[in-house]
């Protein structure tokens, strides 16, 4: 506000100044009050958290049939991830097509014709390449492990497997259970 001489005039009372009963101290008190806590969504449990990460990893998949992701965790720390796709340096099924599709081979059968390395296999391989021990770890995977992946999981000494979608290869689960590996199915969308 300007006075008749054109200089600024401040209303001290409206700024918590001398005319304010609380003065400057009252303003400081108001500034120190805690802001209201922001509302957040429900915090996921640890298994849901790592399964969600496996779903994100699956988005990197280059398979035309199934997008699978895997995360290997120990002491609540991610050690390795993997998704299904062609071996390093080879063309992806996305680019050249799928032999299993062309031959109408059902899911869960004739794994040797699949050009892709499975997500669980890639996660185990990546740990090995980088010298990371996964003994005693938990493997989170978007899909139930097949028989080939089960054998690798057993030999990698992984202690627990948590998966989200069923796969038409029950032998993998049988092997895991026979090796005393805890298997948990958490249905996912």
C-beta of residue 136 within 8 angstroms of C-beta of residue 75: no
Residue 109 annotated to the active site:
no
Helices within the chain (DSSP H only): 23-32, 46-58, 93-96, 99-102, 119-129, 147-155, 170-178
Neighbours of 119 (CB within 10 A): 31
What are the backbone dihedrals phi and psi of residue 46, each rounded to the nearest 5 degrees, phi first? -65, -40
Which value, in Å, is the radius of gyration of the alpha carbons in the chain?
29
C-beta of residue 118 within 8 angstroms of C-beta of residue 61: no
- Given the residues 13, 120, 166, 170, select the one marked as catalytic: 120
Neighbours of 77 (CB within 10 A): 8
β-strands 138-141, 160-163 pairing: parallel
What are the residue numbers of the active site? 120
């Amino acid at each position: 506000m300007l006075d008749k001489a054109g200089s600024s005039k401040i209303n001290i009372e409206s700024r918590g100044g001398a005319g304010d009963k609380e003065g400057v101290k009252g303003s400081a008190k108001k500034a120190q009050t805690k802001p209201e806590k922001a509302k957040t969504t429900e915090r996921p449990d640890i298994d849901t958290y790592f399964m969600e990460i496996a779903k994100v990893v699956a988005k990197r998949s280059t398979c035309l049939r199934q997008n699978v992701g895997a995360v290997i965790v120990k002491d609540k720390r991610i050690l390795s991830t993997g998704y299904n796709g062609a071996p390093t340096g080879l063309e992806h099924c996305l680019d050249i097509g799928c032999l299993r599709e062309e031959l109408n081979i059902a899911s869960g059968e004739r794994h040797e014709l699949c050009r892709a390395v499975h997500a669980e296999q890639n996660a185990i391989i990546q740990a090995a390449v980088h010298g990371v021990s996964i003994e005693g770890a938990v493997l989170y995977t978007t899909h139930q492990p097949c028989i080939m992946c089960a054998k690798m999981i057993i030999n990698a000494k992984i202690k627990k497997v948590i998966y989200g979608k069923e796969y038409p290869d029950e032998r993998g689960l049988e092997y895991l259970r026979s090796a005393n590996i805890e298997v948990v199915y958490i249905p996912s969308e």
